[in-house]
A and B are shown apart, each in its own frame.
Chain A
Amino acid sequence: MRSTDDAIATEYTTPELVAAFIANDLEDGIGVMVGANLPIPRAGVLLAHLTHGPNMRVTLSMTRTNLFHEPAMEPFEFSTDFRAAKWAESYFIHNQLIDDIKRSSMRDVFFIGGLQIDRYGNANLIGIGADYGHLKMRGPGGVGTGDKGCHCKRYYLYINNHDRRVLVEKCDFVTAFGWGDGGADARRKLGIPGGGPRYCITPLCIFDFHEETKHMRIKSLHPGVTLEQVLDQTGFAPIVPARIEITLPPTAEQIRILRERIDREGILRRTS
């Protein structure tokens, strides 16, 4: 964890800010999957790894490794990119994902997205529509997010677009069970291990969950974002605390490492 008095970067993009937020929240010693097509969480994970996580285990492109001493990472566009094998300390043989549940439940941290995410942090990748037999929009499928959400130390909900269609009152279907219908015991009641969703990370703000109700609550707004903007673009009424923080900007050192070692192609610097 960084101290807050490090020199703040003079210029940075929102994706870099979000990557730094993720990095600041990840502790050394965890195991974390680096998603191929989630460049911002990937950058955040690697930033934590290179700055204060020398004992992290990172899984990328079907390999497990430690990149602490690697001078620079190239981006791997596909999760099957065999070129990552040059770093492999062990292989992630995919069907063995049901064999290390005990270990991953203790150690792993994960990122989960959704076509929809609701106020209690449940996520949906099946599709949109009231009737499963006649979906208005068929999604790609839950992949392995639901099981991972059950069997990991904790996870982060992550979305690239903050709008009312994504952040909804109630998911049409649940692929990854967050806090169900609410309440701190929602997971324990069903015997679901794992810490559940910790934050929901968006391009506008960070949400956390109320300790008792597990209702989504605004934790911090990214610099330049207003409360009205967030409320206007969220499909449910999040809890608004008396004092809202501003998301901590990245330090000059974090930006340097991001740009020189992690994101040399500038994927996080493109303003869409």
Chain B
Amino acid sequence: MTEQVEIERRSLLLDEVEAGRGIRDGMTVALGGFITSSHPMALVRQIIRNGVRDLTVIGAASSGLDVDLLIGAGCVRKIISPYVGAETLAPIGPFFRAAAERGEIEVWEIDEALFYVGLRAAAQLLPFLPWRGLVGTSYPEVNPDLKIFRDPIKGETLIAVPAITPDVTLIHAAAADVYGNVQHHGTGFGDRALHLASDRTIVEVERVIPNQEVRKDPLKTSLWEVDAVVRAPFGAHPYSSPGFHVEDREHVREYVAAAQAYTRMGDHGPFRAYLERYVLEPATHADYLERVGIKRLLTLYEY
């Protein structure tokens, strides 16, 4: 008797705890979203909970306090991002500033355009791509990996931008089917570029949708062939999720105050309390949402 082997299309659905196991010490991890929107916070909190260390974090082209939280939690060795902050809520990430000033993290200084050129080089399996912008600035001085060179065609002065390759990219999106077809509401920011440059991509979504729903409007599919899909409604909280909810300013202010008490006054108490309450104690994303509370979440449920 031979056993029947079922041949079937594979579901990529994982929970955040299972997905988090793929992120280990020393990896290069890219985070999607943009400033105060669409960061994969359910996965970010899982990384911190797992005690992962020595990460090289590729923030979004304008990254937010997702990156700052990872620095504060002690997970980061190196940052690759053109900006870390939250606009009016925090012009600059408190932990990013303090850790950079104290030499506790390395900063791979980059401008938005160079950042995307480096990601494109990775997606095209090239060692580098040329770019003209930023010639004459300090970028090649403070980041020696950016090489000034003379192009072989016209002899013009350009910058060779090395490929920027994440081991794993973490994204927050509106919806996906279980086969890894992902849809964003709105623009998707720079998430496509991060995914295409990356060895692996894990996407947390507000809703898991049927494959038939994807087929209704394939133009909406922003990422395809991602490696894992995680169901995480409100997974971007306290940042916004286009089409679902606005940012939780009050929560972000609480985080910023706690981070600033730590970095400016050396008072570790508020940040320690924040980390325990919202990251370390809740075992899962659902437990986190219970901590935030349904009443608070529902006040954000608009766009």
Question: Which residues of A does B touch, CB under 8 Å?
Answer: 36-37, 62-63, 77-83, 85, 91-95, 97-98, 101, 124, 126-127, 132-147, 150-151, 173-177, 180, 187, 190-193
Contact = CB atoms under 8 A, between A and B. Distances in A.
A38 B104 CA distance: 31
A9 B203 CA distance: 54
Contacts of B242: 80, 82, 85
A62 B186 contact: yes
A192 B135 contact: yes
A98 B35 contact: no
B157 A190 contact: yes
Interface of B: 34-38, 61-62, 81-85, 87-88, 91-93, 96-98, 100-101, 103, 109, 111-114, 116-117, 119-120, 131-139, 141-142, 156-157, 185-190, 192-193, 240, 242-243, 247, 303
Given A140-B92, A173-B138, A82 B133 contact: no
A94 B142 contact: no
Given A78-B247, A173-B142, A177-B137, A94 B61 contact: yes
Contacts of B186: 62, 82, 85, 91
Contact of A79 (B87, B103, B157): B87
Contacts of A144: 61-62, 82, 111-113
Contacts of A191: 132, 135, 156-157
Contacts of B93: 140
Contacts of B61: 94-95, 144
Contacts of B87: 36-37, 77-79
A70 to B, nearest CB: 19
Contacts, number: 167
A35 to B, nearest CB: 9
Contact of B100 (A91, A135, A175): A135
A146 B116 contact: no
Contacts of B192: 93, 95
A120 to B, nearest CB: 11
A177 B157 CA distance: 15
A176 B120 CA distance: 23
20 contacts: A80-B37, A93-B189, A95-B193, A97-B112, A97-B113, A101-B133, A127-B101, A139-B92, A140-B92, A140-B93, A141-B82, A143-B112, A145-B111, A147-B111, A147-B134, A174-B138, A175-B138, A177-B137, A191-B135, A191-B157
Contacts of A36: 87
Contacts of B82: 141-144
B290 to A, nearest CB: 26
A265 to B, nearest CB: 14
